[in-house]
Amino acid sequence: MVEAKHDVLIVGAGCAGMRAAIEAHDAGADVALLSKIHPVRSHSGAAEGGINAALGNASEDSPAEHAYDTVKGSDYLGDQDAIEILCNEAPGDVYQLEHWGAVFSRTDDGRIAQRPFGAAGAPRTAYAADITGHVLVHVLYEQVMKREIPTYEEFFAWKLVMNDDRCQGVIAWDLLNGGLKSIGAKTVILTTGGAGRLYVGTTNAYACTGDGMALALRVGVPLKDMEMMQFHPTTLSPTGVLITEGTRGEGAYLLNSEGERFLKRYAPNAMELASRDVISRAEQTEIDEGRGINGNVILDLRHLGAEKILERLHGTRELSMTFAGVDPIYEPIPVRPGAHYHMGGVDTDVWGLTEVEGLYAAGECACVSVHGANRLGGNALMETITYGKRVGRHAADWALSNTTVEVPPSVEADAERELKELLDRREGERPWSIRDELAESMHENFGVFRREEQMRKQGEIVTGLRERYESVVVEDKGNVFNNDLTQALELGFLLDLAACMVPCGIERKESRGAHARPYDYPDRDDEHYLKHTLVSWADGEPRVDWKPVTMTNWKPQERTY
């Protein structure tokens, strides 16, 4: 039964999804949001440090400088046309957020405050203390409420509806009431965020299971640069909870067990404000060489003083105290690298359109590519807003040009049959140990540093886990809030993505950005690998292809900080 039909249906309701919904609504389209969690629960809200735009409020700045820093930060794997669009549109998009009511921190003269962030040539990161993502999620949801945009809350998107070579809707499991529901749409936008749950140590929420990437992959859309998983340098152990880069933006030090600011040996100029990939590798090297403390290095805020910590980093203090038992006013915080952000994702053009007509993606779920091999702090929130806006506008315009919608009954019947098979299975393994083994092995074998033999071993592990998953059992057979079922489906998504990431990592025989192979290919190899990996699913296994990087103004140079 088709529940409803819309011009634009957006799967995922974080910053990118809500920004797209607002834009599509304002363009005159009938738009709906669909999300497995309530919009304000989205993981965009956990972004802390800020959002990058060349407002020039703290010093001279320009979109061109923002673009250069982003290109360099991407280790030249970012598409420069996409980056220029982002940096040019960013200031206007941030002003728009302010006019909607975003509670930004302010400069002494009442403008939006901006702080220095890693690998940025100017203090460019606009912020709301250290809860910037929270503030943006709420201001966007306020605008969604104002427009009365319908939201399918707690609907778990499980299948994309393909018909006539177009994506024409979504089949979703209704968590509150049970049952599969089909929602037809002229265009579908995937804004489901990242897949950090592939790793045991991650800043990502439980919800970050790469749903949109896997949905796209399963209807034949290639994923781009999937080997590029960013490890954030400052996550709390053991939980992986994020400590913002804003701490270093405000002047915090990273120290090893000898009390040394070890970055002087890795990034003597930028020190703690070097790029994230550089710092994560430095930390991991210190830990591996025995200069860590219980597998951590330490982040020292004490010299910033109580006043600054209380005013600008109160959320950080709250997190440190709750999850590490450490008050950063008096004690340093133990931190280590943790999986944080997927630069890779659904391959799209600069309007968020995929290879499949009617199917779009934006935000972390997509790979436009703005971030290339390494994302700069503060650019993710900006991408959700600017590309959320662009994808919403394009999808609305396309949908409003008289396209019809049909969800073929056979598609629904297939989904029902597949689900019944899963729910009827009573003998076998429950998903959690597969999930845990996947996350632990990815961390071990496909983490900050990568070795050929470990990656190959990981490929075998993933294959084995996928076989076990074939006979997985869902214990809850009920209809009401059956997240035992949806968590099993999420694991299926994660396994598909892991299977795609590993061969991309093996094929990229160089070190670039987040993909570091110090033991066999320690250098960047522009001659052979200045190109995107493109992975698609063919004959039951991943197939890796390549796609050129779009260059406009900037030639690759050696990247030092």
Partner 1 sequence: MHSELAPAPGSTTIDVALKIWRYDAETGEKELKRYEVEAPDWVTLLDVLDIIKDKHDGTLAYRKSCRMMICGSCGMRMDGAAVLACKTRMYDIAKSGHVPVISSMGNMPVIKDLVVDMDPFWGKIRRMKPWLDPGYEEPLEKERIVSQQQMNVIHKEALCIMCGCCVSECNSMESDPDFFGPAALAKGMRFVGDVRDQADVARLNDYNDEHGIWDCTRCYFCNERCPKGVDPRDAIAKLGAESIKEGIDHDMGAKHAQWFVTSAKTTGWLRETELVPKTQGVVEAIKQTRFALSLVKHGKVPPPFPPHVADRVGEARKLYHLVKEQGRDGALGIVQGEHALGRIEFSEQAGVKTTETETT
Residue 349 tokens read as 């053009």
Nearer to partner 1, 305 or 522 (CB): 305
Q: How far is the CB of 109 from partner 1 (least distance, A)?
A: 7
Q: Applying CB under 8 A, which of residues 323, 408, 468, 530 lies at the interface with partner 1? A: 323
Q: Applying CB under 8 A, which of residues 64, 310, 413, 538 lies at the interface with partner 1? A: 310
Q: For 292-424, where are the E strands, in sequence order?
A: 297-300, 333-342, 345-347, 359-361, 366-367
- Which residue(s) pair with 293 in the sheet? 296
Q: Applying CB under 8 A, which of residues 261, 314, 425, 528 lies at the interface with partner 1? A: 314
Nearer to partner 1, 321 or 551 (CB): 321
- Decide if residue 40 touches partner 1 (CB under 8 A): yes
- Which residue(s) pair with 330 in the sheet? none
- Decide if residue 109 touches partner 1 (CB under 8 A): yes
3-state DSSP call for residue 552? coil
3-state DSSP call for residue 169? strand
3-state DSSP call for residue 550? coil
Contacts of 96 (CB under 8 A, 6+ apart): none
What mask of x and - would describe binding to partner 1 in positions 448 to 487, judged by CB under 8 A?
--------------------------xxx-xxxxxxx---
Residue 527 tokens read as 């001659």
Nearer to partner 1, 138 or 468 (CB): 138
Q: Applying CB under 8 A, which of residues 258, 303, 330, 527 lies at the interface with partner 1? A: 330
Nearer to partner 1, 258 or 539 (CB): 258
Instruction: Quote the distance between the C-alpha of residue 380 and its chain's center.
Output: 8
Contact 120, 249 (CB under 8 A): no
Q: Applying CB under 8 A, which of residues 2, 62, 81, 95 lies at the interface with partner 1? A: 95
Alpha-carbon distance 523 to 519, whole Å?
10
CA separation (Å) from 412 to 180, 213, 319? 8, 21, 44
Q: Which residue has the tokens 């133990």?
A: 334
- Decide if residue 111 touches partner 1 (CB under 8 A): yes
Q: How many Cα atoms occupy the beta-carbon half-sphere of 408 within 13 Å?
A: 11
- Decide if residue 110 touches partner 1 (CB under 8 A): yes
What mask of x and - would describe binding to partner 1 in positions 246 to 265, judged by CB under 8 A?
--------------------
- The DSSP line for 303-366 is GG-HHHHHHH-HHHHHHHHHHH---TTTSPEEEEEEEEEES-EEE--TTSB-SSBTEEE-GGGE
Hey, which residues between 415 and 454 contact partner 1 (CB under 8 A)? 430, 432
Nearest one of 219, 508, 203 to 364, comparing CA atoms: 203
Q: Applying CB under 8 A, which of residues 322, 404, 552, 557 lies at the interface with partner 1? A: 322
Contacts of 331 (CB under 8 A, 6+ apart): 302
Hey, which residues between 123 and 152 contact partner 1 (CB under 8 A)? 128, 131, 133-135, 138-139, 142-143, 145-146
Nearer to partner 1, 330 or 470 (CB): 330
Hey, which residues between 490 and 519 contact partner 1 (CB under 8 A)? none
- Decide if residue 294 touches partner 1 (CB under 8 A): yes
What mask of x and - would describe binding to partner 1 in positions 219 to 248, judged by CB under 8 A?
------------------xxx-xx------
Catalytic one of 124, 248, 276, 375: 276
Nearer to partner 1, 327 or 357 (CB): 327
3-state DSSP call for residue 62? coil
Q: Applying CB under 8 A, which of residues 4, 65, 88, 103 lies at the interface with partner 1? A: 103
Is 390 in the active site? no
Nearer to partner 1, 2 or 103 (CB): 103
Hey, which residues between 338 and 397 contact partner 1 (CB under 8 A)? none
Helices and strands in the chain, H and E counts: 15, 19
Q: Applying CB under 8 A, which of residues 16, 51, 205, 534 lies at the interface with partner 1? A: 205
CA separation (Å) from 542 to 116, 305, 469, 494, 497? 40, 52, 17, 14, 10
Nearest one of 276, 285, 292 to 232, comparing CA atoms: 276
Nearer to partner 1, 95 or 351 (CB): 95
